Amino acid sequence: MRIGELAERAGVTTRALRYYESLGLLPARRAGNGYRSYGEDDLRLLAQIRTLQDFGFGLEETRPFVECLRAGHPEGDSCPASLDVYRRKLAELDDVIARLREVREQVGAQLARAEVEATAQTPESSPPRCEWAGYPDDEGKRS
């Protein structure tokens, strides 16, 4: 199949295919007329790349999976190098999750502190009213 058909079937642009080719992720085969020529195996490679990218993997991280498929393995993650990438990605995700938990705890503590301060104020010592002058239903008018 030619590049346009592959792009359509894979749900990517021809520009993306050329980029993958320039990175060595997609083999560059030419027909006798000079046009790029692709097969069903190339569609599998692209499906693997797209799935991994959807999971947050960078293009370079997809390389071991692509190489595994190109070596004839039934799945791109059946090779040791692919498993190593999975392990690194999981460790990276664990770090991000831990950091997000820390941030969540800090925001929760700030909210709890602010709520205590807000309820502790008496009407005589109430703070200035908070207003926002740019409500969507104001149609650009300011008060």
User: How far apart are alpha carbons 10 and 122 in whole angstroms?
Assistant: 64
Q: How confident is the model at residue 54 (pLDDT cuts 50, 70, 90)?
A: very high
Domains parsed from the chain with CATH numbers: 3-119 (1.10.1660.10)
**Predicted local confidence at residue 123, as pLDDT:** 60
Interaxial angle between packed helices 59-70 and 40-54, expressed in degrees from 0 to 180 and rounded to the nearest 10 = 150
Residue 129 has pLDDT above 90, yes or no: no
pTM: 0.73
Mean pLDDT estimate for the chain: 89
Q: pLDDT exceeding 90 applies to what percent of the chain? A: 74
